A and B are shown apart, each in its own frame.
Chain A
Amino acid sequence: MYPPKFDYQRAQSVADAIALLGQNRDAKLLAGGHSLLPVMKLRLAQPDALIDIGRLAGIKGIQMEGDRIVIGALTTHAMVAAAEGLPTVLSEAAGWIGDPQVRNRGTVGGNVAHADPASDLPTVFTALHARFHIAGPNGQRVVAADDFFLDLFTTALAADEVLTAVVVRAEQPGTGSGYAKMFNPASRYAIVGAAAVVMVENGLCKAASVAVGGLTPRATRAAAVEAALTGQPLNADSIAAAAQAVKNDLNMDELLGDIHASAAYRYEMAPVFVQRALTKAAERAG
């Protein structure tokens, strides 16, 4: 549990961090350290340098800009869980990450940049159509959630870029959302996690956005579930039927399994948790 030698530099600004990333070969950004430091201690990751952005106040905290909610990359899970006015699915998921220590040190940006397939936030942000604000040597760019998460521990972030914020829309009237999760009993990561957002108008589902995670290399948009619900009345039967459609969204060949839950079991559980997330979302949509 002792990492090999590495350089440590504290960035004074986002621009400084980008410059330092450019100057240091094989450097990693350090924010809350709750994903990176454990793998370094196990010598599974051996970066030459850590660029500490943990004290950059400018990218920490939650700003409400009209119906845009800007979540600074350094915002902790505890801050997200406690904040008012966020989509329920996000607050709910953030409150279930790890334990109080993890939630008070771990950051939203660090979590999504790490892109652990069992992590909760990638699934939630996929369902929320979040947009990821990225700063790099060539300026700013914005990437949609569907394009941000690429594969196991892999995102659209380049080695010299810094994720500065994740932007989601506030929940509109008639909208409800929810997160449902089967906890890994050891790690508390998701064996299966499902995030759902529904918009109800005149008793019908006007729009649905659903994602599942934990069982696939990256958070997976449940397009078949969304299609099955859109335009339908939201009731127990329609939700149950739509939830089954998640099996069409999953590629059997890439499902993850381990000693806690086989791929086949997770495949069976996906509709259960999609159904639970949708049920909560529908109730909350009023």
Chain B
Amino acid sequence: MGNYIGKSMKRVEDPRFIQGKGKYVANLQLADMAYLAVKRSPYGHARIVNIDTSRAAALPGVIAVYIGQDLVDGGVGAMPCGWNVPDIKVPTRYPLTIDRVRHVGDGVAAVVAESIYTAYDALDLIDVEYEPLPAVIDAREATADGAPLVHDDLPHNISYTWALGNQAETEQALAEADHVVELDLINQRLIPNAMEPRACVAQWNSAMEEMTVWTTSQNPHPIRLLLSAFTLGIPENKLRVISPDVGGGFGSKIFHYPEEIITPWIARAINRPVKWVSTRTEAMMTDSQGRDHVTNCRMGVMNDGTLTGIYVKTWSNQGAYISTFAPLIPTALYITLLSGLYKLRGVYGEMWGTMTNTVPVDAYRGAGRPEASYLIERLVDLCADTVGMDPLEIRRKNLIPAADFPYQTPVAFLYDSGNYHGLFDKLEEIGDYEGMRAAQAAARAEGRVVGVGVTGCIEASGPAPSAVAGSLGSAVGFWESGKVRVHPSGKVSVFTGSHTHGQGHETTFAQVVADELGIAVEDVEIVHGDTASVPFGMGTYGSRSAAVGGSALVRSAEKIREKMKKIAAHQLEAAEEDIVFDRSNGKLYVKGSPDKSKAFGDISFAAYTAHNLPAGLEPGLEETSFYDPANFTFPNSAHLAMVEIDKETGEVKLLSYYAVDDVGKVINPLIVRGQIVGGIVQGVGQALWENGYYDESGQLLSGSLLDYAMPRADGFPTFVVDRIETPSPHNPLGVKGAGEMGTIAGTAAIAGAVMDALKPFGIRHLEMPYTAEKVYRAMHASNGGGD
């Protein structure tokens, strides 16, 4: 049993991508296609006094020009919020704004033309008269008296407030602590920058009144539902959404975006296929962005290093509109994680979700959890300093013991399984923590500025039990579908509601199904991303695909095996309970008589000929399951990083990085390693380079890759990555999420290392990113590192 699970297999996706043979939305060319471009606001906040589209409409080659009111008059509905926390105020948003622009990049008009060049020429001919308005950028300042209002019907720019935890107990835990450390910190704005920008193509069949929409989505079925029920109004049975090869998402392609409403609406209006492809410039000002928290937090610690509690107040910047799942991120994926890996008496967090004149913020790889781990780990480091304890030692002292699982935190989550001490044991084994500290001491003696960061981080992945999600505000369920179709020849097509856009599902899921059915991995094909062929599924985000989508496939494969056993029993003239399905080779035989057997292909063929089936058994061999998880899974990690700071310039260099992750049972170690390393790189990017930077008028100053610093390969050492496996007890594969842990831990590890390096300078805290100038200024404003 088990020929493939646990094996490092190269991705079956790679040959087509490496050869440039992927099929992306932008590759699609349809006869008579027209091209869409969107006129966007150059202001962070302004009233639209007048829009004159006449010059643009008169340009030869322009088919039509539309403004926001045209869409509303044409039946387009307001864009919905998919996560409604109690008493939330969701400001009305249409795909094109009507009276006011609220962020740079807010769409004001759309041009459709015979060529994309003509469409862009026409944009320059749309005359928009703006009256600039004062803007608000900062999440906390947005709530101040007299702050400019982004939406007139949201006083103090507050969309919602939320709190969770044992507040009184936490207050007491802090009051009774020997020391309380307090920190004000900012988790800065990030811009996701998937390699492929978003795109949409729509084709209307006027005879059938059917619409097909190709879109770069991580979750085509929910997009179809939102288009159908809220924004476009085309019935679900007349609407097909296809999300083909997609070049990365990192969360930013979960959400329902204006262009995927505008494109089909115009395709129907002009009765021609329409294509829109985002430019990189547009991506930076319209793709949902990440993070952007302003936080005050406190942690209590006893003289012996025992952590007592954590108390957090955060203002979360939601941007100019509430994106599809925006309220979920800083609530049920953030405050719920504030216990970290630690056994704490009191955990409490409260949140203000506020509106600003910035691009809307929503899930970005890690989504709430990196924000939580960053502040927890900063506080733990400060506690260690306060009581004079080593950062690794204080963490070990407070880890939840392996015997305590499942572990109920004070903030709702029931951690499924873990061996946190084992993580740190493994980390010390591969990372030589003591050696690193000795090297640091030697370097410091030479006048070098070197720091070591160690973190222990928790993640909640695999959302989510649907009933729990519903109770927390979700408008949708979070189960997943999986259909296994065994063809007459014994080859298998698998239809998953998950979507792969870099994660390697076509490989991983094939490994799972091949092992479940005892067949060759080459005989399994994974189909995803098309609502016409795949059962309704919830898509990919939150590191859920293996735990939820994979589990649905296991269930369907179980049903296939059961049906095959029935057929085999009938043909071998044995009792069904005496049939053994050998998962090492797909053979079915009578218990005790392996020579009396049927091959996988014999039974699948028999299922379709139906010449000799048990009485009452339906022909065919195809099973579907909808798997609703019993709980989140809780991946966890211990990471260790060493940095050196150039004393003359303030530049930070990453010297070494060690990671031990427990993502449960690993299906494909090669893919998991790629996910972990890629995640770490994104995490390090936040710590060292990335910053979505707006000026006070709402101008996005880091609006291109010339100014928004993405991580580059030459900024990294070779990663040392290892793992322990504590299977999740509540899903059939024992898996936990692997896609986000690197990001969740990476930022915190670098923050710890940089602040450790700067400790001799008496620097207690710096905000990320640790740019050269910021670090240089801090060193020079300090005591000079002379202690």
A residues whose Cβ falls under 8 Å from a Cβ of B: 1-5, 42-43, 182, 184-187, 189, 191, 258-262, 265, 268-269, 272
B707 touches A186 (CB 8 A): yes
B771 within 8 A of A: yes
B710 touches A186 (CB 8 A): yes
Between-chain CB contacts (< 8 Å), 21 pairs: A1-B279, A1-B280, A2-B117, A2-B279, A4-B124, A42-B281, A182-B649, A182-B772, A185-B771, A186-B705, A186-B706, A187-B707, A258-B707, A259-B691, A259-B693, A259-B701, A259-B702, A260-B771, A261-B772, A265-B773, A268-B776
Q: Looking at the complex, which one of A5, A258, A261, A272 makes contact with B648 (CB distance below 8 Å)?
A: A272
Known pairs A2-B117, A4-B121, A265-B773; A185 contacts B648 (CB<8 A): no
A186 touches B773 (CB 8 A): no
A187 touches B701 (CB 8 A): no
A186 touches B117 (CB 8 A): no
B263-286 residues with Cβ-Cβ distance < 8 A to A are 279-281
Give the complex CA separation of A2 and B707 in angstroms: 20
Known pairs A182-B651, A186-B710; A262 contacts B281 (CB<8 A): no
Across the interface, which residues of B come within 8 angstroms of A43, CB to CB?
Answer: 120, 124
Closest to B281 in A: A1
Give the complex CA separation of A189 and B709 in angstroms: 12
Min CB gap A275→B, angstroms = 9
Known pairs A1-B281, A2-B117; A187 contacts B693 (CB<8 A): no
Give the complex CA separation of A43 and B120 in angstroms: 10
B117 touches A5 (CB 8 A): yes
Across the interface, which residues of B come within 8 angstroms of A265, CB to CB?
Answer: 772-773, 776-777
B636-676 residues with Cβ-Cβ distance < 8 A to A are 648-649, 651
Closest to A188 in B: B712
A186 touches B649 (CB 8 A): no
4 A-B pairs with least C-beta separation: A186-B709, A185-B709, A1-B279, A2-B120
B433 within 8 A of A: no
Min CB gap A184→B, angstroms = 8
B116 within 8 A of A: yes
Give the complex CA separation of A268 and B780 in angstroms: 11
Min CB gap B123→A, angstroms = 9
B residues whose Cβ falls under 8 Å from a Cβ of A: 37, 116-117, 119-121, 124, 279-281, 648-649, 651, 688-689, 691, 693, 701-702, 705-710, 771-773, 776-777
Secondary structure class of chain A's binding surface, majority of residues: loop
Known pairs A186-B706, A259-B707; A2 contacts B116 (CB<8 A): yes
Across the interface, which residues of A come within 8 angstroms of B281, CB to CB?
Answer: 1, 42
Give the complex CA separation of A286 and B589 in angstroms: 82
Closest to B35 in A: A2
Across the interface, which residues of B come within 8 angstroms of A1, CB to CB?
Answer: 279-281
Give the complex CA separation of A261 and B124 in angstroms: 33
Across the interface, which residues of B come within 8 angstroms of A4, CB to CB?
Answer: 117, 120-121, 124
Give the complex CA separation of A117 and B264 in angstroms: 45
Query: Quick one: which of A5, A189, A269 has the most chain B CB within 10 A?
Result: A269
Give the complex CA separation of A43 and B279 in angstroms: 13
Q: Looking at the complex, which one of B120, B708, B776 makes contact with A186 (CB distance below 8 Å)?
A: B708
A186 touches B689 (CB 8 A): yes
A272 touches B706 (CB 8 A): no
Min CB gap B646→A, angstroms = 9
Min CB gap B707→A, angstroms = 5
A185 touches B121 (CB 8 A): no
Min CB gap A117→B, angstroms = 13
Give the complex CA separation of A146 and B651 in angstroms: 31
Across the interface, which residues of A come within 8 angstroms of B120, CB to CB?
Answer: 2, 4, 43
Give the complex CA separation of A197 and B120 in angstroms: 48
Across the interface, which residues of A come within 8 angstroms of B693, CB to CB?
Answer: 259
A185 touches B689 (CB 8 A): yes
Across the interface, which residues of A come within 8 angstroms of B648, CB to CB?
Answer: 272
Min CB gap B464→A, angstroms = 36
